[in-house]
Amino acid sequence: MPTSAPDSAAPSATTNVTANAPPPAPGEPRPLVWVVEDDEAVSRLVQLALHDFGFLTQPFRTGEAVLRRLRHDRPDLCIVDLGLPDMDGIELVRQIGSQCSAGVLILTGRGHTVDRVMGLELGGDDYMTKPFEPRELVARVRSILRRRAPAGAVASPGGSRRYGHFAGWTLDLAAHLLRAQDGAEHLLGTAEAQVLRHFIERPHQILTREQLMGQRDLSPTDRSIDVRISRLRRKLEQDAQNPKLIKTVYGAGYVFSAAVTWS
């Protein structure tokens, strides 16, 4: 997988940033982050911040360039600006989520609540507005990857993949793939898969919003988990307005009410 040469749509100035990334520690994998940003200065700032903490990056200036690369390559995470020159960034977030299980951090100058909600609804894991603090961006990238890592690394002692079975559904933890009894499949976004994993590993227990998000301190105004619960209910429930599997415990959190078996 090429990780240092920029996409043809990316400016040459960002090429040097990628080439000068620090060497990885022996045996330590370096996550690949695609930076989808048409502003060269912002793209360069993002990449420099990531390289300081050992990430590999690949710059893109257009959504079309990202979709072309997705045909034969996969990142660990995408940072997506919503104001791209060739397509709406929210649509790109949706297409990334439908084609791969990479995490998505939305980085944009749009501060409207509707953009935040739509971005999260369509597959985004987190959302930052410009101007931003580079170290906070790195922290959010790390947080997304930490939430993603267990689902991609969960295995039984024999090394085989783990599958959770509940209410006629099967979740492939490693692939983030949700399969119905009739064979229909849903590729879950990183955040959705992580939330569902928390649920099926601890059924019939009340889980707080912080537990489901993997964060110790969550702002009372942060509705990200509610968006993810809503997405899961639309996939899993016969009637998402009257859920039987994922129930709200007002003032406490959520509880997963189905029996779960493993294979």
Q: What is the pLDDT of residue 28?
A: 54
Q: What is the pLDDT of residue 209?
A: 84
Domain range 163-262, CATH class: mainly alpha
Q: What is the pLDDT of residue 22?
A: 42
Q: What is the pLDDT of residue 236?
A: 95
Q: What is the pLDDT of residue 16?
A: 36
Q: What is the pLDDT of residue 153?
A: 44
Superfamily the domain 13-153 falls into = Response regulator (3.40.50.2300)
Per the document, the length of the chain is: 263
Instruction: Output the CA–CA distances (angstroms, integers) from residue 229 to 104, 171, 173, 234, in the order listed.
Output: 17, 16, 18, 9
pTM of the model: 0.54
- Write out the residue limits of the CATH 1.10.10.10 domain(s) in the chain: 163-262
What is the C-alpha separation between 252 and 254, in angstroms, rounded? 7
- Write out the residue limits of the CATH 3.40.50.2300 domain(s) in the chain: 13-153
For the chain, 263 residues long, the average pLDDT of each consecutive 10-residue run is 41 36 51 94 94 90 94 89 91 87 86 72 83 91 78 42 88 87 85 88 87 67 82 93 94 92 84
Distance of CA 46 to the CA centre of its chain: 18
Q: Which amino acid is at 167?
A: A
Q: What is the pLDDT of residue 29?
A: 65
- List alpha helices for the chain, DSSP H: 13-19, 40-51, 63-70, 89-99, 113-121, 134-153, 190-201, 209-213, 224-236
Terminus-to-terminus CA distance in the chain, angstroms? Answer: 32
**Could you count the other beta carbons within 10 Å of the beta carbon of residue 220?**
6
Q: What is the pLDDT of residue 111?
A: 66
